[in-house]
Amino acid sequence: MEGAWVALALTLKVAGWATLLTLLAGVAAGWLLARARFAGRDLLDALLTLPMVMPPTVLGYYLLVLLGRRGPVGAWLQANFGINLIFTWQGAVIAAAVVAFPLVFKAARAAFESVEPQYEQAARVLGHGEAAVFFRVTLPLAWRGILAGVLLAFARATGEFGATLMVAGSIPGRTQTLSVAVYEAVQAGQDDVANFLVLVTSVTCIAVLLAAGRLAPGRVAGQP
Amino acid sequence: MIWDVALQRRFEHAKRRFDLDVRFASDARRLVLFGPSGAGKTQTLRIIAGLTPADAGHVRIAGRSFYDRAAGIDVPAHRRQLAYVFQDYALFPHLTVVQNIAFGLQPGWRNPSREIRHAAVERWMKAFELLPVARHYPGQLSGGQRQRTALARALVAQPHALLLDEPFAALDAALRARLRDELADLQAQLAIPLLLITHDEADVQRFGDRVLQIDAGRCADTAAAPALRPAAAAS
């Protein structure tokens, strides 16, 4: 059972970092698509949503091709920084982040679009530049919607399997997350280990979903 | 000259076109822009505040130039220091009354704290009887309290001018008459110029030192305005 706790710790570490990445990228992309008008906006929206509908193994394959030793990004990272992401937990973070990204992006875009532009204009007239308007008005008003998406992304990252297995493999204690460990345990016929892992995973996911439900968007502090 | 405004702007939406061409110059401290809905009143006010760009013209108020196409001047909205009160007030729903009023006074990326104490904020809250609701959120306020919060928020930073977009339209009839008197008294005490836009004749009677009529994007010549509204010009 000790392996299960190692896998859980690794899973939370990977999901945590992946969620942080998706938060930053998802909020930036959501804001851009909610506010900016440019050619190819719909195409960009479709591309950014793609990870939600594509099989994770396909995404994992794309990432392998991109980040692998001979891939354009992988070769560049190797040559300049000596970094190799394949079969590392950082690689698992990238895989989980890509799969979970659309959940934050979609939520952030909808949340930003629901913010009345008039509030931002009122803030500008009161003497604040664009950065202050974003952090003092836009983000606080959109925050609940974004947070709901972030929690879903965390849950998705926690349960990531396909892309993670492709990119990071299944090295116990290093890249073997809960969902991968379950698969390995079942394959090896270790039913008691599998049962325990499944239980731990289920409880984690239910807790996250309950939290996400409480933070559902729609109500702003003080408003009836 | 307190007000020296000339603005041109063409709006195109789908196949509809609207040409705004507003010019007025006046020494009146209180100016009312009067016209029916869709005449271009709000767009005029938004251009003056810098929220909507103009195609050509100039905006000068009390000797300050905020926009001058020919001279290449276009001060961004957040540097104009013009107070703008929106028709439905646009109070920040995530901030309390005191935070809303202090919003413009605190620089930086963080909102004023709920516990903020600031002499000017306190003074305005006292004057507008907002102290009992200082910790309330806008959703918990009455219509009159909302309007007074919006006015306090606009005035606390000592703006160069006060721009009001249909300030009484969101209120019921009884409250409207009372707050109209309140605002008129307040403005009499303030030294800053006021520009109010309305489609309500009662506002014209009360505030029109000088009344400009606007219709279909065109503003009547200032010299003609008092003749058009003798009752208002006399008040």
**DSSP string computed for B77-107:** GGGS-EEEE-TT----TTS-HHHHHHTTTS-
Report the number of distinct structural domains present in chain A: 1
Given pLDDT bands bounded at 50, 70 and 90, which one contains residue A148?
confident
- Name which of A125, A136, A137 is nearest B77 (Cβ-Cβ): A125
Chain A CB contacts of B109 below 8 Å:
131-132, 135-136
Most confident of A215-219, B76-80, B199-203: B76-80
Ranges A7-21, B24-38, B39-53, B82-96: which has the least confidence: B24-38
From B80, B81, B94, residue closest to A221, measured CB to CB:
B94
Give the CATH class of B3-91+157-234. alpha beta
Q: Is the pLDDT assigned to residue B230 strictly greater than 50?
A: no
A 106-145 near B (Cβ less than 8 A): 116, 118-119, 121-129, 131-132, 135-137, 140-141
Task: Name the DSSP class of A38.
Answer: -
State the Cα–Cα distance between residues A108 and B124, nearest whole angstrom: 37
Q: Is the pLDDT of residue B233 over 50?
A: no
Burial A150-162 (b: 16+ CB within 10 A, else e): bbbbbbbbbbbbb
Strand residue runs (E) in B92-192: 161-165
| CA–CA–CA angle A53, A56, A57 (5° rounding) | 130
Handedness of CA B152, B153, B159, B163 (dihedral sign): negative
pLDDT > 60? residue B229? no
Residues of B in contact with A141 (CB under 8 A): 92-94
| A140, B111 Cβ separation under 8 angstroms | yes
The answer, yes or no, to whether residue A39 has pLDDT greater than 60, is yes
In angstroms, rounded to a whole number, what is the distance separating the alpha carbons of residues B86 and A68?
56
**So what's the pLDDT on residue B223?**
46
Mean pLDDT along residues A34-39: 89
Average pLDDT of span A115-132: 94
pLDDT for res A215: 66
pLDDT per residue over A208-222, tens digit each?
778 777 765 444 444
Among the partner residues B77, B90, B154, nearest to A119 by beta-carbon distance:
B90
What is the reported pLDDT for B228? 43
Q: Confidence class of residue B54 from pLDDT cuts 50, 70 and 90?
A: very high
Domain range annotation of chain B: 3-91+157-234
Model confidence at B128: pLDDT above 90: no
What is the C-alpha to C-alpha distance for residues A222 and B225, in angstroms, rounded to an integer? 45
Structure tokens at B39: 């005449």
- What is the CA angle B39-B45-B48, rounded to 5? 135
The phi, psi pair for B114, rounded to 5°, reads: -60, -25
In a domain? residue A51: yes
CB contact under 8 A, B153 and A222: no
Cα distances from A220 to residues A171, A216, B212, in angstroms, run: 45, 11, 40
Nearest to residue B78, comparing CAs of A171, A92, A133, A10? A133
Q: Taking an 8 Å Cβ-Cβ cutoff, which residues of chain B contact chain A?
A: 49-51, 76-84, 86, 88, 90, 92-94, 96, 103-104, 107-111, 136-140, 153-154, 157
The percent of residues above 70 in pLDDT, for chain A, comes to 95
DSSP structural state of residue B137: -
For residue B96, list chain A residues with Cβ-Cβ distance below 8 A: 222
Structural domain of A58: 2-214
Evaluate if residue A34 carries a pLDDT over 80.
yes
Q: How far apart are the first and last CA of chain B?
A: 21
Using alpha carbons, list the distances in angstroms from residue B14 to A36, A102, B17, B44, B110: 19, 32, 8, 21, 39
* Domain harbouring A9, CATH code: 1.10.3720.10
Amino acid A130: pLDDT: 92
Residue A224 lies in a domain: no
What ipTM, to 2 d.p.? 0.86
Residue B226 confidence (pLDDT): 46
The residue of chain B with its CA nearest to that of A127 is: B78
Q: What pLDDT score was predicted for residue B101?
A: 95
Residue B214's pLDDT is what?
A: 85
- pLDDT, residue B234, reads 41
Full-model pTM: 0.84
Residue B122 to residues A52, A126, B62, B102, B138, Cα–Cα distance (Å): 51, 18, 28, 10, 18
Domain membership of residue A159 (yes or no) is yes
Query: Scanning every residue of chain A, which has its alpha carbon at the shortest distance from the alpha carbon of B102?
Result: A126
* A28 token code pair: 């930036």
C-alpha distances in Å from residue B130, one per residue of B5, B134, B182, B184: 35, 6, 14, 19
- Rounded distance between C-alpha atoms, residue A214 and residue A106, angstroms: 19
A12-21, A174-183, B190-199: range with highest mean pLDDT:
A12-21
Instruction: Give the pLDDT confidence score for residue B9 in this predicted structure.
Output: 92
Domain-located, residue A221: no
CA A171 from centre of chain: 22
DSSP B187-210: HHH--S-EEEEES-HHHHHHH-SE
- Residue pointed to by tokens 């009001």: B164
Q: Mean pLDDT across the stretch A101-110?
A: 96
**Are residues A224 and B139, on separate chains, in Cβ contact within 8 Å?**
yes
> Rounded to an integer, what distance in angstroms lies between the CA atom of residue B51 and that of residue B74?
11
Q: For residues B224 and B115, what is the distance between their CA atoms, to the nearest angstrom?
A: 51
* pLDDT higher than 50, residue B231: no
